[in-house]
Structure 1
Amino acid sequence: MQNKTSFVLSIGIFLIMCHLSYDGSAQTPQKSIGIYPFSNDGSSGCQAQANQYWSFTSDALNKTGRFTLVDRSRWNVADEELERQKGETFLKSEDLVEQGKRVGAQLVLQGHVQTETYSDGTKYNTLMLQLIDVESNRIIGNDVISPNGRQGWTNAFTFDKGVPDWFKKDPESSIRKHIQEFIAEYFPIEVPIVEITETNKDGNASQVLVECGENDGITKGKKLFVIERTSRTSTRTGEVENLDRMIAQINVEEVQGGTFSVCSVSKKEAAALTAKINEKANIFVTDKNMKAK
């Protein structure tokens, strides 16, 4: 009897220790990203603008809750280094990768602000962004954010159309909007459907609650995509490959704070989505546009 009691106590202590040592966050490790202080071309007001865009980009990434941001102070950028950057677009990727490794970043983002003169004589700041994967030293993304919208570098300097009227009314909001779009493209969300909130007459989902909101840059009217992810293993290499297939497109009807949103489901796709939810398929919601396969 005593041995049995000791055994039960041992099991109990073991379970308690397992519970205390369990860290749920370790199951979904966050990527660390270093945002190098944005450089500028030295034009009047450019440094202040570069700092402002840096702060907004950092804040937008931080609000997603999906990244660990390397503290700016850890870059230890000297004043003479920032001065040297004036007139340069970007640091060489290999130099930045070395700094990224030193501060423990998996990804590094650098930006450059420069003043452009458009065909109508108006001057506006343009933000260039470059995203680098530290481990592979690979440039993941190059974007230019200008009054004409977001463009890749090959089409970046097409300013002959002048400045759109909508941009003149609120240029800062426009730049911020396009920074959010940059984040959405290169850092797409992958969040769950929390529950079906409304059904149609056929009993299929007409509205769903998803776990993303203002912190993810979600706004009313935004299109999101429900993806089913399956995997297959190569019999030759043993490597596992993920296969993603779009199940439905859903539209944001109401943003409920920083973390949740209510989305509508089209009648055409309601049955397929409901079936996947009911069978507990491996599905998630993303803001990255994917074509149905």
Structure 2
Amino acid sequence: MRFNLLLLMFVYSLYGYTQNQLDTRPVVGVAKFTCETDSRYACLVTEKVVEMLTNTKRFQVVDRTSNDRVKEELELQKSEAFLDSENLVEQDIAVAAEKLITGHINKIPVYAIRNTNGTIRGYKGSVSFQMKVVDVATGLSTEAVSFDGKASDLMLSPESAVTQAMQSLQGQLEEYFRKNFPISGKIIKVLEEDKNGVKNVLLNIGKKQGVKIGDKFTISFIEMLEGQPYPHELGEIVVEKLSGDSFAACKIPKKIGRELKERISSNEKVICNLIIE
């Protein structure tokens, strides 16, 4: 019985490893937001951030609502309990978060609107919070950014009032995610080349990560200096075609085609980062 259990755990973890190898999107954890008051609606804010982050389709999102400290995240990844975690948002396999989103709710007022006879006609709510991104490996974080949602319309329940107030922040949150989680990919195939160099390449990122035709990437090769990656920028490339959900074909300018061919032939690490305008 014990042998069968160990075998099952091994197969489960191997399946998880394989799945994670196939999905190259960055892994982002979302910790439970802290709150100035003991509001029973505070969890709705965290849940909405998880939902919006997941809907961008650019990340593997891990719900860490029960572990809201970076140290706890590090310890969690070392423990056996981590292997059995069921807190993964997008799939049922536990993965280690590279970044952790933390937040603090400044206020979350929810109040009932009453009729003249005292009966409740509906509810209105608003929310104000700060959010930052923590690098799990280093513990370094971005500066906290404030978000103030608009007051909701008259809603049937307190929960729906908070949800609508959060929905008013969708555009701001999407922009925040875009700036703090730049898209990065690598060349997985040379589509066209000649004696003068590489002309077209295929990247391992596409629609799933929010890449669009016309998007521009900087292309760089990485030199390791004293154990640290040092990027050398070669130039810019443009997405000409999207293939399926996970690939993008890019045109290579003539001025960098020859050097890029040499870098690829030498098996040097080449990365491509989306240019945020």
Give the TM-score, by structure 2 length.
0.54
Seen in structure 2, the aligned counterparts of structure 1 residues 247 and 31 have a Cα distance that, compared at 3 Å, is: closer
2:174 matches 1:176: yes
Seen in structure 2, the aligned counterparts of structure 1 residues 102 and 193 have a Cα distance that, compared at 3 Å, is: closer
2:103 alignment counterpart: 111
Alignment of 1:138-217 (within 5 A): 138-144=139-145, 172-173=170-171, 175-184=173-182, 189=184, 191-199=185-193, 203-217=196-210
Seen in structure 2, the aligned counterparts of structure 1 residues 146 and 24 have a Cα distance that, compared at 3 Å, is: closer
Hey, what's the Cα distance between the residues in 1 that align with 2:71 and 2:267? 44
How much does 1:259 deviate? 1.6
SS of residue matched to 2:268? coil
Matched residue count? 204
Hey, what's the Cα distance between the residues in 1 that align with 2:55 and 2:45? 15
Alignment RMSD (CA, Å): 4.5
The partner residue of 1:57 within 53, 59, 63 is 53
Seen in structure 2, the aligned counterparts of structure 1 residues 176 and 257 have a Cα distance that, compared at 3 Å, is: farther
Hey, what's the Cα distance between the residues in 2 that align with 1:265 and 1:97? 40
Hey, what's the Cα distance between the residues in 2 that align with 1:109 and 1:141? 10
Give the TM-score, by structure 1 length.
0.52
String of CA shifts for 1:4-43, please: whole Å, max 9, x gaps. xxxxxxxxxxxxxxxxx9x986x98998753112456789
SS of residue matched to 2:260? helix
SS of residue matched to 1:221? coil
Structure 1 regions of 5+ residues with no counterpart? 1-20, 76-94, 116-122, 148-169, 233-238
2:69 alignment counterpart: 96
> Radius of gyration: which is bigger?
1
1:231 alignment counterpart: 224
Does the 8 Å CA contact 1:226/1:246 hold for their aligned counterparts? yes
**What's the % identity of the aligned pairs?**
16
1:248 alignment counterpart: 235
Does the 8 Å CA contact 2:25/2:58 hold for their aligned counterparts? no
SS of residue matched to 1:142? coil
2:274 matches 1:274: no
Seen in structure 2, the aligned counterparts of structure 1 residues 103 and 218 have a Cα distance that, compared at 3 Å, is: same
SS of residue matched to 1:141? coil
Does the 8 Å CA contact 1:145/1:179 hold for their aligned counterparts? no
Does the 8 Å CA contact 1:39/1:47 hold for their aligned counterparts? no
1:10 alignment counterpart: none
Q: Which moved more, 1:216-225 or 1:205-214?
A: 216-225
Does the 8 Å CA contact 1:253/1:261 hold for their aligned counterparts? yes
String of CA shifts for 1:149-186, please: whole Å, max 9, x gaps. xxxxxxxxxxxxxxxxxxxxx963453243233222xx
1:129 alignment counterpart: 131
String of CA shifts for 1:177-232, please: whole Å, max 9, x gaps. 43233222xxx53x3312222347x6433321111123333223222122211224
Hey, what's the Cα distance between the residues in 1 that align with 2:73 and 2:42? 25
Seen in structure 2, the aligned counterparts of structure 1 residues 249 and 215 have a Cα distance that, compared at 3 Å, is: same
Seen in structure 2, the aligned counterparts of structure 1 residues 282 and 33 have a Cα distance that, compared at 3 Å, is: closer
How much does 1:48 deviate? 4.6
Does the 8 Å CA contact 1:248/1:269 hold for their aligned counterparts? yes
Seen in structure 2, the aligned counterparts of structure 1 residues 258 and 40 have a Cα distance that, compared at 3 Å, is: farther
Does the 8 Å CA contact 2:218/2:237 hold for their aligned counterparts? yes
The partner residue of 1:36 within 31, 43, 50 is 31
